[in-house]
Amino acid sequence: MASNPVPDIPLNDGTTIPQLGFGVFQIKPRDTTQAVRTALEVGYRHIDTAEMYGNEAEVGQAVRTSGLTRDEVFVTSKLTNAAHRPDDARKAFEATLDALGFDYLDLFLIHWPLPTRYDGDFVSTWQVLEEFSRDGRARSIGVSNFQVPHLERLTAETEIVPSVNQIEVHPYFGNEEVRAYGRAHGILTQAWSPIAQGLVLDDPTIVDVAEQLGRTPAQVVLRWHLQRGDIVFPKSNTPARIEENFRLFDFELDEATMERISGLDRGEAGRQGEHPDTFDYLPS
Ligand SMILES: NC(=O)C1=CN([C@@H]2O[C@H](COP(=O)(O)OP(=O)(O)OC[C@H]3O[C@@H](n4cnc5c(N)ncnc54)[C@H](OP(=O)(O)O)[C@@H]3O)[C@@H](O)[C@H]2O)C=CC1
Ligand SMILES: O=C(O)C(=O)[C@@H](O)[C@H](O)C(=O)CO
């Protein structure tokens, strides 16, 4: 059988992460086990979920019944916004492990910094994630939706540098300042909504490149992310697309094409999701 084509990328804590994964945001719990099963059959070995997606149990079920061993699949989950206070964070992490049916996570993230709601409390939340790292229940720890000032506070006030920062990135929103901070400090960027939930796939430049290369627009955009060195985990609940999004390792974009796609960046106007400085959603 052919070896898995997805590269393992080093993290700053000495572990590695598969550069391509499968995201499960907005996959209904009743569809999640089958979607993850399909992804694992196609060859994905990295699943990105979160407590707030409501489908951790189904992700765990798919992984545990896949025939793969636990250490063959890299699984990430994220702390719910509702549990930033230290005792709540400890309970939430245990609930996540229980839901997944795992005794460790490969990567656990603070999902959002919530800077306005808790006035910087994400620092004490991060110190709780450091406990999970030290006791081995989280092989790696990181953050999501952190802006440069949030990362600077962690650097100044805590011991462990986050291994990743999971942020919105796609051709319309390069998020370059936060990516550059990560590059300079050994924090790997994970690009969420890598195809902007489909929005960029009709862009004339992307369509033109796809036609020239005989690839699909999604493959072109995902390949652009990989060549920038970021981690991606496109979401799909459609088996043919799950397969399509995995076929990224038998072609390359040349430098001019990379620049053409990067040139689509609209700066802040291209952001599609919530802004981390103001998003303060608490699930009920
Ligand atoms: N940390 C954070 O705050 C966030 C993290 N994330 C993570 O990032 C992952 C990916 O981001 P997400 O927001 O889901 O969006 P994506 O950019 O991955 O886009 C998903 C959408 O694109 C469609 N799609 C997928 N593949 C193709 C294809 N080949 N051709 C055409 N359409 C396609 C899907 O449709 P269909 O399913 O019908 O096939 C779905 O509507 C999430 O699942 C989650 O794991 C996302 C948002 C925020
Ligand atoms: O998908 C995620 O991980 C998110 O945090 C967001 O998309 C968020 O949950 C949301 O839905 C904002 O409207």
Nearest Cα neighbor of 171 from 210, 110, 225, 102 is 225
Binding site membership of 24 for ligand 1 (Cβ less than 6 Å): yes
Query: Could you tell me the strand order of the sheet in which 46-48 lies?
Result: 22-23, 46-48, 74-79, 105-110, 138-144, 164-168, 188-192, 231-232
**Residues that constitute the known binding site for substrate:** 111
Closest ligand to C-alpha of residue 236 is 1
Of 51, 80, 146, 274, which is best to mutate to test ligand 2, by the most ligand atoms within 8 angstroms of its C-beta? 274
Looking at domain 8-198+221-249, does it have CATH number 3.20.20.100?
yes
Ligand 2 atom at minimal distance to the Cα of residue 26: 1
pLDDT digits (tens, 9 = 90+) for 240-254: 999 999 999 999 999
Binding site membership of 175 for ligand 1 (Cβ less than 6 Å): no
Q: Quote the ipTM score.
A: 0.98
Residue 27 CA, ligand 1 centroid: distance in Å: 10
- In this prediction, residue 2 carries a pLDDT of 73
Domain ranges of the chain: 8-198+221-249
Residue 134 CA, ligand 2 centroid: distance in Å: 28
The two structure tokens encoding residue 127: 């110190």
Binding site membership of 274 for ligand 2 (Cβ less than 6 Å): yes
pLDDT digits (tens, 9 = 90+) for 30-71: 999 999 999 999 999 999 999 999 999 999 999 999 999 999
**φ and ψ at residue 249, rounded to 5 degrees:** -115, 15
**Residues that constitute the known binding site:** 111
Q: Which residues of the chain have pLDDT under 70?
A: 1, 118-120
Which residues are tagged catalytic?
53
**Do 146 and 162 form a contact (C-beta atoms < 8 A)?**
yes
Separation CA 205–CA 170 (nearest Å): 14
Whether this prediction's pTM lies above 0.95 is answered by yes
Residue 228 CA to chain centroid, in angstroms? 15
Angle between helix 255-262 and 217-228 (nearest 10): 100
Residue 81 CA, ligand 2 centroid: distance in Å: 11
Find residue 18's DSSP bridge partners. Answer: 8
Binding site membership of 50 for ligand 2 (Cβ less than 6 Å): yes
Expressed in percent and rounded to 5, the helix, strand and coil fractions of the chain are 45, 15, 40
